[in-house]
Structure 1
Amino acid sequence: MWWENIKVGDKVRIIWKKKYFKPITGKVIKIWHKELHLDLGDGRTMAVYLMDDMIQKVEKCQ
């Protein structure tokens, strides 16, 4: 499964299926039960459920 390649500390980009949602880039701070917890910067965090139908793909950034 593709999320097994993602580790804490990786920078990832979430691409949504809906075109009017902007892609979100953040650093993985925790992985818990198919959820990614991202540090978006400026003190903001976000949790993304990897099995959500709204997600088109998750890709690693360099």
Structure 2
Amino acid sequence: MRPASQFFIAETGGWVVDHRANSALPGYLVVASKRSADDLSDLSDDDLREIGPLLALSQAALKK
């Protein structure tokens, strides 16, 4: 379980979305893989299936 953070937005099995702490731009998000990988092609199919809907939900939240 992640520690509580004022920058935390969302989390899935393979990804974490946070507001960029050192950015003055509102809505500047970081989507980070929980897995160590140098390239998206190194990630599992499950992790890759999660990122599309996660990005869509993040964008929808920003639009609100």
TM-score by length of 1: 0.41
Q: Decide which structure has greater helix share.
A: 2
Bigger Rg, structure 1 or 2: 2
